[in-house]
Each structure stands twice: as structure tokens, then as C-alpha cells.
Amino acid sequence: MPYLGSEETVKDLKRALSNPHVQTDRLRYRNVIFRVIRCMTQGVDVSSVFTEMVKASATVDIVQKKLVYLYMCTYAALKPDLALLAINTLCKDCSDPNPMVRGLALRSMCNLRMPGLHEYIQQPIVNGLRDKASYVRRVAVLGAAKMYAQQGDLEVDGALVNELYSLLRDPDPIVMVNCLRALEEILQKEGGVVVNKPIAHHLLNRMADLDQWGQSEVLTFLLRYKPRSEEEVFDILNLLDGFLTSSNPGVVLGATKLFLILARGFPLVQADVLGRVKGPLLAICTAESRELCFTALCHVREILRSLPGHFSTHYKKFFCSYSEPHYIKCRKMEILCQLVNDENVQPVLEELRGYCTDVSAELAQAAISAIGRIARTYSEKCMLILTELLDLKQEHITSAVVQTFRDLVWLCPQCTEAICHTLPGCEESIQDSEGKQALIWLLGTHGARVPSAPYILEDFVENVKTEMSALVKLELLAALAQLFLVRPAECQDMLGRLLHYCIEEETNMAVRDRGLFYYRLLLAGIEEVKRVLAIPKSDPTLGVLEDRAEQAIDVWASDFNTLVPVYGKEQWAVLTAHWVEGAVSSEAEPLTSQESKTVPQGQPDPSPLTLKLDGQMEPEQFEKHWMTLPAACVTSTGWRGDAQPDALQTALRAVGIHTIAMSKAGAQPWKAYLFAQKGEDQQLFLAELLLADPKAVLHITVKQSEEQEERLRNFVALLKNAIEVFVGLKS
């Protein structure tokens, strides 16, 4: 909304700009222009003085030119006819003897944002790329990228691209880095800038001349180069050696990732590199910037997946400070759980014990959960701490401890006896549904060892009408049915009352159906009940699944120095799936170890891929290949909301693509893992389908056992075609 009196103000400004006496007084003239800019920033429409402002650009005063150019860039789109006057003025200034004026004019011209502007600025940009002044060349390189960004349908000019490639050898390092970014933007549809051997070695030799931002950028582009020999690999690593100890976090992480990618096949070199960056990473973990600290902690967690004891001697660096936000404290506690060994287990547990009584209930529960994870290895020490916490009679603490006990009993059966002795009395302090479910499960599964178990459950049965959580009611039904098998005399009456309530009075259909199930099961006889409910009370092997064996560094090396460690692989896949433009057709992006380029999706080549229709693979074999092979292609395809993903496996099996695992119907996100075998040479193709939302696109990740680009293209086309036919996007 314009200010009151703004019309009179604009008229006064127009009269002042047109006044010959003001124009001859340099200081007064500049002050009037200042007033125009001030009104413009305050929301006053001063477009009516456009002609006068264009005339004001004819000056040798650099400050006045900057102000006028700012005004022109703001109102050029609103006054396209008068903007031609501004373009003529700017073109004239692009030939000014002063390089500052030339650069300023060229930058302003590229910021006008007018349709058809490339016809006027293309030649000034080319002239700017050949200018003697480095400042003008910097502006011209970025201007070329702006021109193609604003004119999305503009065809790529080969001569301009060659000019930019030649400027990669410019003596000014900023011009060189700007050229890389500009070529990446201009050649986006062709896969971005190509880094061959001469360019790669030139960039490496110029690294010392770059600032820290430029070094980080160059390290990212060097990931695309694939050395031809081991000797060349080690030559490159020697050149990058000093950047592992840089003071800039981006350079350290970028150099580390490049080391890990280039040293694939040399695990000892990779481990040595991670050892050398231990100090810089720890320094970033204690940085004042919370964002940097959290990012570094996420990368430390990735490293610990392959080198569990890598930071064990520096475990105190991961102790929490009172001023740190919650998300950093939780991530530090996760890392502490992985650093525990015989030497530091006692101080780590003492530190975590202090967090258990924090004023933040969420942090306290996270600390208790961390102690529970450590208890899988050091059960006696942790059980003492968890038992002492129960004496505090705090609602959130008791609930978290009981939930930890439930997981601990399942994974560590040797703790069952000690846990059962601590359960009586816990029901008085638990009010949340998660804690109630954990306590009821423990009493139902191990009630034979808790003398008061039936009487504690009876209190829950008495209050079942006021219980709001359906999950608690379902857990209560299961627990009483199990306890009835070992203590029938004490449980018969309350089980009957609970079944009567669930069948006759309960409004939740899930609870009612579960009550009917147990009622009919009891009618079949006690032996049938024992057969159906004879489930294991513990499964220590699940601990092995949760604490997986050490992974090879190559598994996560390609995700290092990206947002994947911060968000997690699955969450990042969900986020990036929505970035794909177009739900039906999209381009695949094959990712090799050092190169990333776009493979156009079209029809398969003249020799179509033949897959085995009777292919077989064990789940363990699939998991082994999936964890070791890098992602070869990431793409997306369309999906219809009313399509049933479970029925997809039939359509895929018809073309030789088989399902190894699939989520249940209705699960969000829905996932499926597929494999296919080539008929002649047993080449494997592995694929992951991810559907975060039935209305979203289907995200596809493909891996292959051999690097065959043509076969990969054919497999991706075959897979996408089968999916699109299934959902009805193709006939």
C-alpha cells in the first residue's frame, strides 16, 4: 500500500530531476537520486521518473551510476518500452574505458529480466569474456549463466561454451571457478561440465591459488574425473594431501570424499585418510555453529559404520553441553553408544546417567534409551543405573525405563530375572500409553516370574472403560490371554470380564475383533490356545540385525559431504523424489564412482535386453550385493493413486524382473526390492522402488554387478515401461 502523499512526492522528485540547476550541482543531483531509491525501497511507485533516471546514468560518478542501474533493474520489467533506452545506455557503458563501469553495466544488463533480452546482451557478454580486466570477465561469466537461466528455451551456443571452457585456464582463479559453475548451469541438460584429464590436472594445480569457497567447488567437480591408472590416482591424492587439514569444514569434507572415491580398491588408504581427518572433524563437532556441529556429527556417525572404534579415545568430545540444542545432544548420545568399550564404559554411563534427570523429558528418555542400547553388551552395569532410576518415581523416567526393559528382555534373556523383580510398583507412575503397553507386555509374557502380575493387570482391566488408547486395550487382551495359560485360576475371571467388555461395549472395531478372536480361540480348547499363542519370549538374534556388521567404506563414500548423512538415505530419497519435474517421463541419472551424467531415456537399443524369466536369488545374497554395489541409476516414473502396488510384482515377473521383498499394502512409505538376471552372462540388476505418497512419483534406484551403460539404459527403460503399463500411464 503506497504511503500517504506519495503522488506529490513523486512529482517533486520528477521536477527536481528535470531541473537544470539541480543537474549542474553534482551533490544535489545525487541526493535527489538517493531520495528516489529510498522511496522505491519503501514501496512508493516511482516508475514515472524512468526517463529522467535513464538520463541521470550519463555521468562519470560511479556511485550515481550504481543507484541508477539499481533503479533500472527494478522497473525494467514494468516499463519494457522505456527499458530499451536503458539497454542502449548500458550497452554504451559496456565500452567505457573504466573497467568498473564496464563490469557494473554488464552486470546490470544481465539483471534486467526482460523477454528477448539475450539478443541485446549476448554480444556484450562475449566481449566481456575477452576483456582485459579480470573483474569484467568475472561478471561476464556469471552473466552467461544468468542469460541461460532466464531464457530456459534458449539453445546452447557452442561458441560461447568453447569460450567458457577456454577461460578455465584464466589467470584469475575466481574467473576459473565461475566458469565451472556457469558451464554446469548452461550444460545442465547435457549432463553438466565435462572434466577430462587436462582439465582435472589443471584444476588440481590451481587449487593453492583458490580461496576456500573455490577449493570446495573444485573438489566437487573433480569427483567426475576417473583416473586411468593407479599411478595417476596416487599422484592426485598427493596433490590433495594438504587439504585434509584445511581450516574450512567444506574443504575438509570435500577433500575427504574425493580421497574415499579415488581410493576405492585401497581400503588401507581410505582408513588412513579417515584417521587423518579425525582432528578436523572433532574440531567441527565442537564448532560454535550449530548447523556445522550437527552436520559433522552426522558424518562421524557414517564413519563409525565402517570403523566402530575410530573415535573411542576421544569419547569426551561427544559429551553434551547444557547450552546445546536437543537434536545435537541426541546425536551425540547415539555416537557415545557406538564408542563404548571396556575402558570407557564407566565414565560414559556416568555421563548418560546425568542426562536421565534432565529437565527436558524428551532428552531424559533419549538418555535412558541410550543406556538400554549399551546394556546389550554391559548388562550388569546398566541394570544398576536403570533400577536406581525407577526409585525416582518420575512418570516420564519410569515409562522410558520400562520401555527399555521390554527391549532388553527381548534381546538379552539373561536380564529377565532382574527386570521381573523391578516391575511391581511401576504401574503407579506410568500414565502414557507407550509405557503402559511395555509394562503390560512384560507382565503378560513373563508374568510367571512376577507374583503380583495378575493383580497389576486387574487394575488395568478395572479401568479399561476409561482407557483412551486402543493399543493399550489390544496389548491388555494379548497379555491376559498369555498369562491365563500359566496362571489360569487367577486370570480366568478378569479375562472373562475383559472379553465381555471388548465384545459387547467397545466401540473400536479393532479391539472388538481382537476380543472375538480370543473368545473363539478359547472355545476351540486350551490346547489350541497354547498352540496359537506359543510364541518366543525373546530373540537375541535381533540384536545382530540392529547392530549390523561393519560396512565397507565404499557403501557410504558417495554419500559423504552431502545431505544424505543428515536426513538419512530413506528420508532423502523421499525428499528428492518430489524434485523430479513431470510425473510420467523423467531422465535417469547414472552415477558411477567418479562421474555423474544424464542418460537420455528413450527406446531400448536394437539388441534388447533378455532377462531370465526363472531367475532365483536368496535374500542374503541380495542384501550382500545391495550393500556393496554403488547406485548406478536414480530415476522416477509416474504413479496413479488408485493403483495397488502389491499387484505390481505380477506385471514385473512377466518381463523377467522378480521381487525379493515388498512392504505391506497401505504402508507409507511403500518399498519393494527387485532383481533381474541377464540370460547369457549372469549379470545382475538390483532395484529399489520407493513410493512415499500414492499421489507422488515412484522413486527408482538401480544397481548393476557390471558397468554396462547400454544394458543399464535398456533395463531402466524396461522397468519403467512395465510400471507405466501397469498403472495405466501407457497402453
Q: How far apart are CA 16 and CA 6, in angstroms?
A: 15
In 576-621, DSSP assigns E strands to 589-590
Grid coordinates of 348: 560414559
Q: H helices of 558-613, where?
A: 564-567, 569-577
Give the CA angle between residues 681, 683, 687 to the nearest 5°: 160
Q: Is 672 helix (H, G, I), strand (E, B) or coil?
A: strand
Predicted pLDDT of residue 661 = 84
pLDDT of residue 626: 85
The whole-number pLDDT of residue 110 equals: 85
Q: What is the pTM of this model?
A: 0.72
Question: Rounded to an integer, what is the distance from CA 57 to the centroid of its chain?
Answer: 48
pLDDT tens digits, one per residue of 35-77: 888 888 888 888 888 888 888 887 888 888 888 888 888 887 7
**What pLDDT, on the 0 to 100 scale, is given for residue 714?**
84
For residue 689, the cross-strand partners are 672, 700
User: What is the rounded (10 degree) CA torsion for 637, 642, 647, 653?
Assistant: -30
Percentage of the chain lying above the pLDDT 70 cut: 90
Amino acid at site 523: L
- Residues whose CB is less than 8 angstroms from the CB of residue 162 and which lie 6 or more positions away in sequence, other chains included: none
Q: Is it the case that residue 591 has pLDDT exceeding 50?
A: no
What's the mean per-residue pLDDT of the chain? 84
| pLDDT score of 347 more than 90 | yes
Cell numbers linked to 604 = 531400448
Among 173-177, 193-197, 364-368, the minimum mean pLDDT is found in 193-197
Q: What is the pLDDT of residues 696-728, one digit of tens each?
A: 678 889 998 888 888 888 888 888 888 877 776
Is residue 331 over pLDDT 50? yes
| End-to-end Cα separation, the chain, in angstroms | 54
Does residue 170 register a pLDDT over 60?
yes
Give the model confidence (pLDDT) of 390-441 as tens digits: 999 999 999 999 999 998 998 888 888 999 999 998 988 899 999 999 999 9
Which region among 55-59, 330-334, 354-358 has the lowest average model confidence (pLDDT)?
55-59
Instruction: Give me the amino acid identity at 276.
Output: R
Residue 670 C-alpha cell reads as: 511403500
Task: Please say whether the beta carbons of 674 and 660 come within 8 A.
Answer: yes
In tens, the pLDDT along 369-388 reads 999 999 988 988 999 999 99
| In CATH, 567-727 is 1.10.4190.10 | no
Mean pLDDT of 461-489: 92
Domain boundaries of the chain, sorted by first residue:
6-204, 340-422, 426-535, 567-727
SS3 content of the chain, % helix, strand, coil (to 5): 65, 5, 30
Q: What are phi and psi of 637, to 5 degrees?
A: -145, 170
- Within 8 A by CB and 6+ apart from 459, the residues are 427
The phi and psi torsions of 596 (rounded to 5 degrees) equal: -135, 120
Q: What is the CATH number of domain 6-204?
A: 1.25.10.10
**DSSP codes, 20-42:** HHHHHSHHHHHHHHHHHHHHHHT
**Cα dist from 101 to 94, 143, 644, whole Å:** 7, 15, 63
Burial of 438 (0-12, 13-18, 19+ CB in 10 A): buried
Radius of gyration (C-alpha) of the chain in whole angstroms: 34
Q: Could you check whether 6-204 and 340-422 share the same CATH topology?
A: yes
C-alpha cell at 560: 559423504
Q: Do 713 and 605 form a contact (C-beta atoms < 8 A)?
A: yes
Average pLDDT on 584-590 reads 34
Please report the pLDDT score of residue 681 as a whole number: 66
pLDDT surpassing 70 at residue 186? yes
Sheet of strand 658-662, all strands in order from the earlier edge strand to the far edge: 589-590, 633-637, 698-704, 684-691, 670-677, 658-662
Residue 136, pLDDT score = 92
Q: What is the mean pLDDT of residues 132-157?
A: 86
C-alpha angle with apex 224: 210 to 270, nearest 5 degrees?
Answer: 85
Q: What is the pLDDT of residue 730?
A: 62
What is the CATH architecture of 340-422? Alpha Horseshoe (1.25)
Is the pLDDT at 594 greater than 50? The verdict is no
